[in-house]
Structure 1
Amino acid sequence: MMQTCPLCASRDTHHYHRDARRDYRQCARCELVFVPPASRLDPTDERAVYDQHENSPDDLGYRRFLSRLFEPLRGRLAPGARGLDFGAGPGPTLSVMFEEAGHPMAIYDPFYAPDRAVFERRYEFITATEVVEHLFEPGRELARLAAMLPQGGWLGLMTKRVASRQAFAGWHYILDPTHVCFFSETSFAWLAGHLGMSVEFPAADVALLQKR
């Protein structure tokens, strides 16, 4: 069955991998690997997985994990720049780290902080850590976020990247049933070009896109 890429909307996609639970396809244009809609969880089951997460600003290990995005992005921001943490989850932490550094923050999460008024504002930077792999429509969602940034604004993304078909087959990241989109550097390069942004990879799993 033909499947449309949820990032670039190309219909040129092909089989990439299959495991005991689901199929994975890859786009020939942007190289996104994705799970077809029939294999996605419904919202109730999806939230049940997220409810098991125990992230907290008091967890120093979690703060160190987030620092891979926090440190390089903070160094690129003007003092007092306003930000949005998109997909903040049940224990918002990155937003707390930026607020401690002097950056006013808004948060959004479809399950835990569903105030859609945040999309009516503009921000100097937007973050999404361990989020894009969960998005059913990453092309649409990331374009909406980019549109909320001014020229020079930053979109900071953190997700593990596809390395090769062989590595993918044994990758722990695909075992999470809520992970449905898997980006490579090529995927981010396509996204940046499509959105009129530049992209750099300053740390493991981190992509920083700046609006031209």
Structure 2
Amino acid sequence: MHCNLCKSTSTIIFSTLNYKYYKCTNCDAIYMDPADFVSKDKEIKRYKEHNNDVHDTGYQKFVSPIVDGILADFKNTHKGLDFGCGTGPVITKLLRDKAYNITTYDPFFDNNSNALKTTYDYIVCCEVIEHFHNPLKEFQLLKSLLNSEGKLFCMTDIYNEAINFDNWYYKNDETHVIFYKQKTLEWLAKQLNFSKVTVKKRLIIFEN
């Protein structure tokens, strides 16, 4: 098996009757066997089950690391993109409440192709990158949409060796198909010519 991100060789680390997971020997990504990906219909059904009420204060607090980062680094005159905004674009709502200029895009729920025909000063991907079926292609797209001096803000659970993968809750969502380690994120930053990547718990910031 070859890595779904960097195409290097991988070794199997966990399997059930329905799913197999591999770890890359190069970039350390952990990913589900693509043969085990759920259908598009099942994927959409799972996303619709998410409780994405933009007025939920708990949900707003959850995304606050991204929102706070954008408020600190950018003005409302800058252009932003909420990539993979889902059914409840809470980051967009919170930024628009402060008159920020942010556009939404989601391949399933807001398939606005025009959003992918321009560039942005910042892009947010909250609980999105673990769903990428073709992760390198998706990250290359995100990189191409960023202006110089732009930043890509991502949130996901980052794997480390202290976590028992067999019991890890995050893998139990069948739409979560790739998991990143610090080394994986550093590989991505180098591969895509980002100047810097910063990891703060679940928050990842790639800088042009």
1:179 to 176, 181, 193: 176
Tell me the distance in 1 between the aligned counterparts of 2:71 and 2:15. 39
Determine which of 110, 114, 125 is the counterpart of 1:113. Answer: 110
Going from structure 1 to structure 2, the CA distance change for 1:62 and 1:166 (only over 3 Å counts) comes to closer
- The answer to whether the Cα contact below 8 Å between 1:152 and 1:210 also exists between their aligned partners in 2 is yes
Paired letter, 1:69: I
SS in 1 for 2:146: coil
Match of 1:9 among 7, 10, 17: 7
> What TM-score, normalized by structure 1, do the two folds share?
0.93
Residue 9 (structure 1) shift: 2.5
Measured on the aligned residues, the alpha-carbon RMSD in Å equals: 1.4
What is the aligned counterpart of 2:51 among 46, 50, 54? 54
Q: Which amino acid aligns with 2:15?
A: R
Q: Note if 1:188 corresponds to 2:185.
A: yes
Q: Which amino acid aligns with 2:175?
A: T
Amino acid across the alignment from 1:126 = I
Cα distance between partner residues in 2 of 1:22 and 1:134: 15
Q: Match of 1:201, SS?
A: strand
Q: What does 1:56-205 correspond to in 2, within 5 Å? A: 56-164=53-161, 167-197=164-194, 198-202=196-200, 204-205=201-202
Contact 2:75 2:100 in 1 (8 A): no
Where does structure 1 differ by over 6 angstroms across 4 or more consecutive aligned residues?
none
Choose 18-27 or 178-187, whichever is displaced more. 18-27
Q: Output the CA distance in 1 between the equivalents of 2:181 and 2:197.
A: 13
- Structure 2 spans left out of the alignment, 5+ residues: none
In structure 1, list runs of 5 or more residues that go unmatched: none
Percent identity, aligned pairs only, is 28
Asked if the contact 1:84/1:126 (under 8 Å) is kept, the reply is yes
Q: What is the rounded CA distance, in whole Å, between the counterparts of 2:100 and 2:6 in structure 1?
A: 32
**Structure 2 equivalent of residue 22 of structure 1:** 19
Deviation digits for residues 185-209 of structure 1, max 9, x if unmatched?
A: 111111111111110123x211000
Q: Give the Cα–Cα distance (whole angstroms) in 2 for the partners of residues 47 and 79 of structure 1.
A: 32
